[in-house]
Amino acid sequence: MTLLTEIDVRELPPPEPMTAILSALSTLPQQGMLRVHHSRQPYPLYAKLEAAGWAYECEQLSDHYFLISIYRQLDSSP
């Protein structure tokens, strides 16, 4: 099973990027990572991701090109 899933939502109007992200996250393996090619920072998504137990990193490649990596937060419970 591949651990890295990539989707490009740069040319999708809202709310389609979120639909694509949700759909990809729902099938992501436990140790997997989703890499999203986005045209902007989906700020409100970040807060919701953290609340739902996901971690993220964002890298800005140019003015309108962002690479967002999403993966499950490490379980710190005993």
Partner 1 sequence: MKLTGLSFDALPPIDLPFRFFICAPFFMLLCAGVILVSGESLWLSRWQPSMLALIHGFTLGFLTMVMLGALLQLLPVIAGIGIVKPRPVACFSHALLSLGTLSLMAGFMYFDALLIYSAMLLLALALGVYIAALIWVLIKKLSQGDSIWGFRLATFSLLVVTLLGLALLARNLGVEWIPTTKMVTNVHALWGLTGWAGILIIAVSFQVIPMFHVAPAFPLWVRRFLIPAIFIALILSIAFPTLGLAAINGLHAIFALVLLFVIHQRKRKVPDTSIRYWQLGALALLLSSLLFFIPETLWNRYLAVNKTHLLVALFLFFYLMSIIQGMLLKILPFLSYTHLQQRCLINFEAMQYIPNMHEFLNKKHGQWLFYLHIISGLLLIFVLAWPSLYAAFAVSLALESIGLLAIMLKIMSLYFAVNTKISQAAK
Query: Per-residue x/- marks for partner 1, 44-73, CB under 8 A?
Result: xxxxxx-xxxx-xxxxx--xx---------
Residue number with CB closer to partner 1 (2 or 43): 43
Q: Sign (positive/negative) of CA torsion 39, 45, 47, 51?
A: negative
Count Cα neighbours of 66 within 13 Å in the Cβ-side half-sphere: 15
Q: Tokens 């709310």 sit at which residue?
A: 15
Contacts with partner 1, 2-41, as mask; x by CB under 8 A = ---------xxxxx--xx--xx-xx------------xxx
Say if CB 66 and CB 41 are below 8 A apart. Answer: yes
4 forms beta bridges with: 33
- Residues of this chain that interact with partner 1 (CB under 8 A) are 11-15, 18-19, 22-23, 25-26, 39-41, 43-49, 51-54, 56-60, 63-64
